[in-house]
Chains A and B, each alone.
Chain A
Amino acid sequence: MQAFIQSVIDKYEASPVRLLPILRDIQAEYQHISGTTVEQLTTALNIPRTQIISVIEFYSFLHATPTGQYDLLISDSITDHMLGKQDLMAYFASQLKVTIGETRADGLVSLNNTSCSGMCDQGPAGLVNGHALTRLDRPRIDAIVALINQQVPLTQWPTEFFTVDDNIYLAGLLLKNPVTPGEALKARYQKGLAETLKEIEMSGLRGRGGAGFKTALKWRFCSEEAETERYVVCNADEGEPGTFKDRVLLNTYAHQVFEGMTLCASIIGAEQGFLYLRGEYLHLYNKLQNILLERREAGLLGHNILAQGLNFDIEIRLGCGAYICGEESALIESLEGKRGIPRNRPPYPVSQGFLNKPTVVNNVETFFAASKIAVTGGQWFASVGTEQSQGTKILSISGDCNKPGIYEYPFGTPIIQVLQDCGAADVLGIQIGGPSGTFIGQDEFQRTLAFEDLATGGSFIIFNQTRNILDIVKNFTHFFAHESCGFCTPCRVGTSLLKKQLDKIVDGYGSAGDVAALEELCQLVKNNSHCGLGQTAANPILSTLQRYPENYAQQLKDISYEPGFDLDASLETARRLAKRNDAGAHLAQVEDNQV
């Protein structure tokens, strides 16, 4: 074991900033990172053992105690729920004879939930030892259970279990006209640096992750920093439930994304780039490495790119299961081998990012679009969309529709158009921008996709009339409590309190005062949290409370107050030990004559 770990350390040049890849490799080999391993690493990497332990405890895919040799994680996204995940999960557990959240006694298999795995258009989905499983159903689960019990290696499992489709149903401006490898870089060197940046500025391109900062401005700020060691980071930590367009872009248009990163490097003067790929997209890793290799061989990456004197290379870093790492400064912390805790801002990453050097962090789709703009020019892009939101937006559409998948629309497209195209009928509402976005109801389908109206990083989840609003909100609220990094008080404690308070109401223990308390708590978490996670964690509750107060009201009892937990159940231990079951050994949840 010691020799293997040493080989991993050597592979990553004993570099502390590569702690995550080191831990990933060890986890993959031994299903956990033991105390002894931590000791070996602390010496070899010359970092405190506490840094290693805290990283293991922070990321969902790293463990201090062994998971099963087959570690199964089932995606807990609302879209998986809608496709019958809860039932399948129970079936899985019973067939495998394993308790959810635990490792089977023989150590062969473990089963647990995981946050949205980004396969919303082909769920119910999951991961086995990090590899994506799609379209789970009972026959497939039966087959998987048999394969596990016979200890068949993953490489010999049927490949269709791992098939991930693009499902591009509507290709627009960008998806229809990809650039050929090298095209954007050549155009950039023909036009020159200043002219290229001007084209990007003219295009009006804004960050596609959701926040919408002007891309040209970000690149310019970074290039104007006094410090000349600079970095390019592509944020492919696509963790917002319901989003999967970056997965498709990297599967089919990776050249264009890498080209966009190289373009950025040539403008800001960076020599090193990172693609921070969410761990759930492990299936893309080798393919992307091969594309990087191709690009190096074609003179599009590495030393003296296109003989223009540009030196730039890209390293792919896999995430380890933490939604917060989609926040750019948390992502940078993670790249540095630390827990993903959002930094205090200012300073912003453009001036102090990776290793406190100027860093541009952009979304996959932003780099993808920038490549094309470098070739075709800014005007071409800006002529589409609205005045404040130029160009197109790629949507990941899932939920209740006939054709869940990828759609590219000009900004300004009304929601009703999208619903028609994907075959959605009898729609109750749509979650736009994922749990951190907005829930809109039937009377809002004339609203448009745009930064100035409905902004989205790409998530578009459709719910039909059979769905229960409160189930949706509960799923989202639990998600945030699970993903809060814990740095600041309002989010750390607040998201867990939101979960408790919402559950109290949804589970039927609420009274009128409880909704007021819930709303107050929402405002508290929203207004005082450190980063976007906490600031948006209450959005699902707030946007549905505003639109569907009656759904909450229906859950309430006409009483002044009721405990948030099952009183009678909390006497169960005492009843059992005292061997009693008389009337006095029970408690009513609400006093009989209480009004």
Chain B
Amino acid sequence: MSQTITIDGQEIPYEEGQTIMDAAIAANIYIPHLCHNPEYEPHGSCKLCTVKVNGRNCSACTFPAMQGQDIINHSDDLEHDRKRITQMLFVEGNHFCPACEKTGNCQLQGIAYYLDMHDNHFPHFFANREMDASHPDILIDHNRCIFCNLCVRASQEKDHKNVFAISGRGINKCLIINSKSGKLKDSELDINDCAAHICPTGAILIKRTGYQVPIGQRTYDQHKIDEISLAKEHKHHD
């Protein structure tokens, strides 16, 4: 008999070394997440994947699956908190969806739609953030960065370059570029790098590829993020 955990009453198997998220994805169960991508080292910072494990809140993407865990993934309380956390990300940055090329394909938006979020609830920070369009092929709009750290990890783990890093403290946290000028054009980032394509929001965009798919026909216009996520990540697991 293999080892099992229970998520929302459903008993699923897991393997030694798997996180709760790994086991869930393998069993085709969606746990909301933004900073997690199975291809990279788990980070555990967005906290959308918070689940109740034997009554205690844990991040599913970093917490190891252990025999007999009784896990709640969907409850009114958890969904409420996830919506509020998503709203925090919306008020922290400057997310003007109508003016963003990523709209409809944006995972932050996809999560918001999935959680039936209609408003931002909190007062806005209207943070003063920069845009870096210096690179010939790639653009960074820091207004849309949610500090998921995926570009940092992709550049380190896949591209072996270290182009990005997280700096600052607290609410002054920021994404920085590894180049003498601090500009993207002087970094080693190349259009073929994984890091250039990993951004879940519209913070890192490829130039001259905009609006190829009309608004209204994009990913999350057609499908909920749980379907999209499982279709991609469950396959990756196999």
Contact = CB atoms under 8 A, between A and B. Distances in A.
Contact of B81 (A51, A495, A524): A524
A434 to B, nearest CB: 18
B135 interface: no
B47 A53 contact: no
Given A39-B180, A53-B176, A564-B123, A489 B47 contact: yes
A490 interface: yes
A370 interface: no
Given A490-B85, A497-B122, A54 B166 contact: yes
Contacts of B169: 57-58, 322, 339, 484-486
Interface string B154-195: 000000001011111111111011101000000000000000
B170 A57 contact: no
Contact of B170 (A48, A496, A524): A496
A415 to B, nearest CB: 30
A49 B167 CA distance: 11
A375 to B, nearest CB: 40
Contacts of A39: 180
Interface stretch (B87-95, B97-105, B209-217, B224-232): B87-95
Given A486-B169, A489-B47, A500-B123, A494 B88 contact: yes
A48 B123 contact: no
B195 to A, nearest CB: 13
A344 B42 CA distance: 9
A497 B62 contact: no
B64 interface: yes
Nearest to A56: B167
A50 B162 contact: yes
B165 A488 contact: no
B178 A50 contact: yes
A57 B170 CA distance: 11
A493 interface: yes
Given A483-B170, A500-B123, A489 B88 contact: yes
B88 A490 contact: yes
B178 A488 contact: no
Nearest to B56: A527
B57 A495 contact: no
B172 to A, nearest CB: 7
B167 A50 contact: yes
Nearest to A485: B169
A149 interface: no
Contacts of A50: 162, 164-165, 167, 176-178
B236 to A, nearest CB: 21
Contacts of B172: 57, 486
B59 interface: yes
A524 B47 CA distance: 11
Contacts of B170: 481-486, 492, 495-496
Contact of B44 (A344, A486, A564): A344
Contact of A344 (B62, B171, B176): B62
A497 B64 CA distance: 31
Given A487-B45, A488-B45, A489-B46, A496 B171 contact: yes
Contacts of B173: 486, 492
B234 interface: no
Contacts of B48: 489
B84 interface: yes
Contacts of A322: 169
B128 to A, nearest CB: 15
A54 B176 contact: yes
B125 interface: yes
Pick from A48, A58, A489, A497 the residue with the most CB of B within 10 Å. Answer: A489
Interface of A: 35, 39, 48-51, 53-54, 57-58, 322, 339, 344, 346, 481-490, 492-497, 500, 524, 527-530, 564
17 contacts: A48-B162, A344-B42, A344-B59, A483-B170, A485-B170, A486-B147, A486-B168, A487-B45, A488-B46, A488-B47, A489-B48, A489-B92, A493-B91, A495-B170, A497-B122, A527-B81, A528-B85
Given A57-B168, A484-B170, 15 more contacts: A50-B164, A484-B171, A486-B147, A486-B168, A486-B171, A486-B173, A490-B47, A490-B85, A490-B88, A492-B170, A493-B92, A495-B171, A496-B170, A497-B91, A524-B81
Interface of B: 42, 44-48, 50, 57, 59, 62, 64, 81, 84-85, 88-89, 91-92, 122-123, 125, 146-147, 162, 164-174, 176-178, 180
